[in-house]
A = this chain, B = another copy of it.
Amino acid sequence: MSIRIGIYGYGNLGRGVECAIKQNPDLELAAIFTRRAPEKIKTVGENVPVYHIDKASEMTDKIDVMILCGGSATDLPVQTPVIARLFNCIDSFDTHAKIPAHFANVDAAAKEGGKVAIISVGWDPGLFSIARVISGSVLSDGKDYTFWGKGVSQGHSDAIRRVEGVLDGKQYTIPVKQSLDLVRSGADPELTTRQKHTRECFVVAAEGADKAKIEQEIKNMPNYFAEYDTTVHFITKEELDRDHSGIPHGGFVIRSGKTGKDLENRHIIEYSLKLDSNPEFTASVLVAYARAAYRLNTEGVSGCKTVLDIPPAYISAKSDAELRSELL
């Protein structure tokens, strides 16, 4: 019998979840829930039941795990506690600073409902967090580095588009190769924000707009660009659509540490991702952790968890014995 999944919120991430479910024969898409008019939703697959989110609470017996696909800013802080009372669920809450508060809210709700909720699932937070915790536990004397990119930052792209005279734009975060190599060499450098990443912007300007002014405004924007070496390229809308329509991303988690009587031996642990589609990869992580939420709940567990609380075997479709003989 397959695990019945509900998708709560249907944007890029929700569509990614729909695709990912099709890649996993032990999972089955039970329903999609949307805030929009259900009849106007065009799903990736055929004959997928789409309901208004108000219907979700009537379907607790039809869904084993709900995957929340809303945003971290306003959707998930409200939605996850509500859903966790009714369903086992997974979210990708990624506002690092607010995780403890979100965890507490969801934990109370999930315990009340006797359900398991796994929050902050994805790659950062998510797979990168696992890499940081394992590497840091193994190499106690060491230093952590996280680099992101090359990839599209939605927040920075939005910031560009808010500049006067800008019609459209896309921003890539790019790790500085020399700094990455320095870290890999075991030099344990102290790196400034500027030394870790550069920012590259592709901008479509309105006709007659002052490009020099736009460029300066972008480059000096506090929090977003001022602390970085930023490059601005002006291109046409056609070029933007042709060359920059993807949502690639990725990054590197590196721990450099020492062991031995006099800490004379150096070790480097590196975990990296190179992703063609950030939302589809994140969706694939969410779907794998849905297995864990379901399995834990069938074992009688309830409450809020994160990826750090989940044994690797729990996210696999293979049995423990298969994993031991094939992958250990």
**Using a CB–CB distance below 8 Å, which chain A residues touch chain B?**
16, 19-20, 23-24, 44, 96, 99-100, 103, 120, 125, 127, 129-134, 136-141, 184, 259-261, 265-277, 280-281, 283-285, 288, 291, 306-313, 315-317, 320-321, 323-325, 327-328
Cα distance, A130 to B314, chains bound together (Å):
12
Q: A306-B324, A324-B103 are in contact. Are A134 and B127 (CB under 8 A)?
A: yes
Cα distance, A271 to B128, chains bound together (Å):
11
The residue that A141 contacts in the complex, of B23, B273, B308, B325, with Cβ under 8 A, is B23
The reply to whether B273 and A269 form a contact with Cβ atoms under 8 Å apart is yes
Chain B residues closer than 8 Å to A261, beta-carbon distance:
19, 44
The reply to whether B323 and A23 form a contact with Cβ atoms under 8 Å apart is no
The reply to whether A309 and B320 form a contact with Cβ atoms under 8 Å apart is yes
Cα distance, A291 to B134, chains bound together (Å):
12
Chain B residues closer than 8 Å to A315, beta-carbon distance:
133-134, 137-138
Cα distance, A306 to B136, chains bound together (Å):
19
A320 to chain B, nearest CB (A): 7
Q: A308-B312, A308-B313 are in contact. Are A134 and B130 (CB under 8 A)?
A: yes
Nearest-CB residue, chain B, relative to A286: B138
